[in-house]
């Protein structure tokens, strides 16, 4: 039995096959992708990678499979799918994913499956006797594969624990032992929670909400992400880099390309030297009308807003960004819980889950950030323009 020492889960045991998968070229690349994009600029310990997260997700889904009484065959498939689930991610994880998805409609899962279904990985999978179709289902989170991807799944469980471990923000430290113990599968092999696990389930949803509020949607993290988004857009327009190339890059490779493009170079340098743009204006979601919130979810609207405010305020385009975070939960937690023998939705019986969904919506912030010396002008321009929209 092979062992990898993980910073979060300790000694993780792996079969020979599970040890060979991470040594493929596509998986090794994940070593060079930070798990939470730009957060390291605010939380200096946040240097952990998609690579370690992949191993941790494999570990946790294995624990779930065992606890839920799944057989050896399904456990093997789930662990392989968990190990591979992020292989399609690009530089800075979600940052490049959004850029690519918007322009190609391809998710990181779809890009990832391209890397799994043929070549080095496919050969290992074949050699292990795992049917590719079953792996695909699990990879895309279908059926029993939901154990990896659902709202209380191994993917989220690992990243909450790991992001807490690396940032020092304790909110993600959940009692995963207790939670895993209460996750089972129903007749259709979908994850269900026992009623006794109600608070354990809530605690994980709360943990995620708190991590969003403190880390993922920290205003400076969002500003850095918006700067990266803008720089990538410039380099793509200039054809300094193609979408296809971008999808295969790691964090440092992307940063280098951005610093070589004429238009994006200054933004790249700002990111590299942590000269972040500063908040000129911040509005909370509840201060915005519904139509505006709707429009703000379209990145093209954001870009037009950026252009208009920059022009009005006479700020160069690379010195102003606008950000409004997506409604990540899309308003609907989906967790089955068995109450007195009946499967119901957790959100339908938990005041707390409903409150979290609301809070997630309400606490998003619209941020206009610019070079520090232009704050007054940018704020004025932004207020005027937004007043016309609200």
Nearer to a second copy, 128 or 202 (CB): 202
Q: How far apart are CA 185 and CA 194, in angstroms?
A: 10
Q: Where are the alpha helices (DSSP H) in 85-117?
A: 94-104, 108-116
Phi, psi of 14, rounded to the nearest 5 degrees? -140, 145
Nearer to a second copy, 152 or 302 (CB): 152
Tell me how far apart the 2 most distant CA atoms of the chain are, in Å: 65
Instruction: Give least dist CB 302 to a second copy, A.
Output: 25
Nearer to a second copy, 123 or 252 (CB): 252
Q: How far apart are CA 367 and CA 138, in angstroms?
A: 38
Instruction: Give least dist CB 101 to a second copy, A.
Output: 26
Nearer to a second copy, 50 or 94 (CB): 50
Category of 201 on φ-ψ map: left (φ > 0), alpha (ψ -120 to 50) or beta? alpha
Q: How far apart are CA 6 and CA 259, in angstroms?
A: 34
The residue to which tokens 């932004």 are assigned? 382
Nearer to a second copy, 149 or 166 (CB): 166
Nearer to a second copy, 149 or 350 (CB): 350
Residues found near a second copy in the complex (CB under 8 A): 3-11, 23, 25, 28, 31-32, 40, 43-49, 51-52, 55, 165-171, 173-175, 177-178, 181, 198-199, 202-203, 206, 210, 213-214, 252, 272-275, 350-352, 354-356, 358-359, 362
Nearer to a second copy, 161 or 313 (CB): 161
Nearer to a second copy, 310 or 337 (CB): 337
Instruction: Give least dist CB 108 to a second copy, A.
Output: 20
Of 74, 69, 62, give the one whose Cα is nearest residue 12.
Answer: 62
Phi, psi of 163, rounded to the nearest 5 degrees? -65, -35
Instruction: Give least dist CB 34 to a second copy, A.
Output: 8
Instruction: Give least dist CB 67 to a second copy, A.
Output: 9
Instruction: Give least dist CB 346 to a second copy, A.
Output: 13
| Cα distances (angstroms) measured from residue 236 to each of 242, 244, 245, 262, 359 | 6, 10, 10, 12, 36
Q: How far apart are CA 283 and CA 366, in angstroms?
A: 5
DSSP labels, 18-77? HHHGGGSHHHHGGGGSBTTGGGGGTSTT---BHHHHHHHHHHHHHHHHHHTT--HHHHHH
Instruction: Give least dist CB 207 to a second copy, A.
Output: 9
Instruction: Give least dist CB 362 to a second copy, A.
Output: 7
Q: How far apart are CA 368 and CA 174, in angstroms?
A: 34
The burial class, CB within 10 Å (0-12 / 13-18 / 19+), for 1 is: exposed
């Amino acid at each position: 039995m092979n062992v990898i020492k993980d910073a979060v889960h300790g000694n993780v045991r792996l079969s020979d096959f599970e040890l060979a998968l991470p040594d493929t070229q596509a998986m090794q690349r994940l070593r060079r992708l930070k798990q939470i994009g730009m957060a390291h600029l605010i939380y200096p310990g946040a240097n952990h990678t998609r690579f370690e997260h992949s191993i941790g997700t494999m570990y946790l889904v294995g624990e779930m499979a065992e606890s839920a009484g799944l057989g050896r065959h399904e456990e093997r498939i789930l662990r392989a799918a968990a190990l591979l689930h992020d292989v399609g991610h690009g530089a800075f994880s979600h940052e490049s994913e959004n850029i690519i998805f918007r322009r190609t409609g391809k998710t990181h899962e779809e890009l990832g499956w391209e890397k799994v279904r043929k070549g080095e990985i496919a050969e290992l999978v074949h050699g292990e006797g795992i049917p590719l179709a079953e792996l695909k289902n699990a990879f895309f989170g279908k059926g029993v594969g939901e154990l990896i991807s659902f709202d209380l799944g191994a993917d989220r469980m690992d990243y909450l624990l790991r992001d807490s471990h690396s940032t020092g923000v304790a909110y993600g430290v959940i009692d995963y032992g207790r939670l895993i113990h209460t996750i089972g599968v129903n007749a259709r092999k979908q994850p269900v929670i026992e009623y006794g696990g109600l608070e354990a389930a809530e605690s994980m949803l709360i943990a995620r909400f708190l991590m969003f509020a403190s880390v993922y949607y920290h205003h400076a993290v969002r500003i850095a992400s918006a700067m990266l988004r803008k720089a990538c857009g410039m380099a793509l327009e200039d054809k300094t880099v193609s979408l296809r190339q971008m999808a295969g890059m790691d964090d440092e490779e992307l940063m280098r390309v951005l610093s070589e493009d004429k238009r994006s170079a200054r933004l790249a340098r700002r990111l590299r030297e942590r000269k972040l743009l500063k908040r000129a204006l911040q509005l909370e979601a509840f201060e915005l009308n519904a139509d505006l919130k709707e429009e703000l979810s379209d990145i093209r609207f954001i870009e037009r807003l950026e252009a208009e405010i920059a022009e009005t305020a006479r700020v160069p385009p690379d010195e102003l960004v606008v950000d409004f975070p997506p409604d990540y939960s899309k308003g609907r937690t989906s967790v089955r819980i068995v109450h007195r023998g009946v499967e119901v939705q957790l959100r339908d019986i938990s005041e707390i889950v409903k409150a979290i969904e609301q809070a997630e919506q309400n606490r998003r912030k619209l941020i206009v950030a610019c070079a520090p010396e232009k704050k007054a002008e940018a704020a004025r321009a932004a207020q005027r323009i937004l007043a016309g929209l609200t």
